[in-house]
């Protein structure tokens, strides 16, 4: 359920191209450690996993430069990416269904990540990432997924008003990354769709932008305003409660980040950040699915506040 590289995030995970940008280490092998804490854990797909206590989400990524030629040619760079993401929290989540039952665990999820990032035509980046959502909660089977993201750097055209748009395609390979099949198991056949059983693996598209502004005279403080639309296939959230919506959810956010320049040379590039994400659940099926996880009732929207630290070598 996590934010995938690229997520999620995120739980999207951190994009390889976004992390490497601005840092120019000589070695072809680089490492990123990110530690984030937040007011809750909500996946990019709108599944609310924890809404009480604090959530801690460590991420480790490695990057290997396989090819680099930014000046000439159509392909400018090729990078391999691999790592792992975890979610832990101060409040426990049920190990077995139903939500709220005992025993509970504080370690909800571990997600291995692997992929490749290709820069081309000087302004485009294509990222293809495999991730497995290994759940320790609610008897949820491991979900395997493939995410493809195409990003465009429009800063050469719009300068300070650049939008940094992207298009993302998320495909479930094995098992669901949402609770779409749970109502059929718990409540039986849908009153609307009859005995038509579990939705099965599905997909969604995502459209997003992340306009930003950097204050050069204020310790390089960067302010970002990420927002995105999730456009699901009809089976992604299922249609147990009614017809699916073209827009499953939309998310708005604000993020402030700055380099920690007081760290001594040789200890990597350090940075800190803080912000919030707001999700609105437009799809009526998604609205009802949070009955089966936190907060245990139909939910129309959700806020998450977060802060974190990154170290890049």
Residues whose CB falls within 8 Å of the CB of residue 242, separated by 6 or more in sequence, listed in order: 192, 284, 285
The count of residues in the chain is: 313
| Stretch among 149-153, 184-188, 230-234, 297-301 having the lowest mean pLDDT | 184-188
Tally of structural domains, the chain = 1
Q: Report in angstroms the alpha-carbon separations of 96 from 99, 103, 139.
A: 8, 7, 5
2 located within any domain: no
221 located within any domain: yes
CA distance 2 to 309: 19
**pLDDT, tens digit, for every residue of 239-262?**
999 999 999 999 999 999 999 988
Q: Among the residues of 124-209, which ranges form H helices?
A: 155-158, 182-187
Residue 87 is part of which domain span?
Answer: 16-312
159 located within any domain: yes
Positive or negative CA dihedral for 124, 130, 135, 141?
A: positive
6 located within any domain: no
Q: Cβ(185)–Cβ(156) under 8 Å?
A: no
CA distance 107 to 85: 12
**pLDDT, tens digit, for every residue of 256-306?**
999 998 888 788 899 999 999 999 999 999 999 999 999 999 999 999 999
10 located within any domain: no
* Res. 5: pLDDT tops 70: no
What is this structure's pTM? 0.90
CA distance 241 to 283: 10
* Res. 2: pLDDT tops 70: no
Confidence of residue 73 (pLDDT cuts 50, 70, 90): confident
CA distance 155 to 178: 35
Give 213-220 contacts, CB < 8 A, sequence gap 24+: 213/160, 219/258, 219/259, 219/261, 220/258, 220/259
Alpha-carbon Rg for the chain in angstroms: 20
3 located within any domain: no
Q: CATH no. for residue 262?
A: 2.40.160.40
Q: Cβ(121)–Cβ(74) under 8 Å?
A: yes
262 located within any domain: yes
Of residues 16 and 257, the one with the higher pLDDT is 257
Q: Tell me which residue of 139, 54, 143, 49 sits closest to 95, measured CA to CA.
A: 139
For residues 102-120, give the mean pLDDT.
97
Q: Cβ(134)–Cβ(152) under 8 Å?
A: no
* Res. 200: pLDDT tops 90: no
* The pLDDT of residue 89: 97
Confidence of residue 161 (pLDDT cuts 50, 70, 90): confident
Tokens linked to 211: 């306009």
Q: Cβ(74)–Cβ(96) under 8 Å?
A: no
163 located within any domain: yes
- Please, what is the Cα angle at 295 between 306 and 174, to 5 degrees? 85
């Amino acid at each position: 359920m996590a934010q995938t590289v690229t997520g999620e995030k995120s739980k999207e995970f951190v994009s390889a191209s976004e992390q490497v940008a601005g840092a120019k280490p000589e070695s072809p092998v680089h490492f990123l450690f990110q530690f984030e804490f937040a007011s809750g854990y909500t996946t990019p797909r709108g599944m609310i996993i924890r809404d009480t206590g604090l959530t801690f989400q460590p991420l480790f990524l490695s990057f290997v430069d396989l090819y680099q030629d930014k000046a000439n040619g159509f392909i400018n760079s090729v990078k391999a990416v691999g790592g792992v993401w975890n979610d832990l929290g101060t409040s426990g989540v049920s190990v077995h269904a139903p939500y709220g039952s005992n025993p509970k665990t504080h370690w909800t999820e571990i997600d291995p990540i692997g992929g490749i990032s290709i820069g081309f035509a000087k302004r485009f980046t294509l990222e293809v990432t495999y991730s497995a959502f290994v759940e320790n909660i609610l008897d949820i089977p491991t979900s395997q997924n493939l995410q493809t993201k195409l990003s465009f750097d429009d800063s050469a055209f719009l300068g300070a008003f650049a939008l940094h748009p992207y298009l993302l395609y998320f495909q479930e390979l094995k098992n669901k990354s949402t609770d779409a099949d749970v109502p059929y198991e718990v409540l039986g056949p849908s009153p609307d769709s009859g005995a038509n059983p579990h939705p099965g693996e599905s997909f969604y598209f995502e459209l997003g932008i992340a306009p930003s502004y950097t204050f050069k005279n204020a310790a390089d403080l960067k302010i970002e305003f990420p927002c995105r639309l999730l456009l699901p296939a009809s089976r992604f959230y299922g249609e147990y409660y009614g017809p699916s919506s073209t827009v499953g959810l939309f998310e708005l956010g604000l993020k402030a980040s700055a380099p920690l320049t007081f760290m001594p040379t040789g200890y990597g590039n350090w940075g800190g950040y803080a912000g919030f994400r707001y999700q609105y659940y437009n799809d009526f099926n998604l609205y009802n699915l949070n009955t089966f996880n936190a907060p245990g009732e139909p939910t129309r929207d959700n806020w998450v506040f977060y802060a974190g630290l990154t170290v890049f070598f």
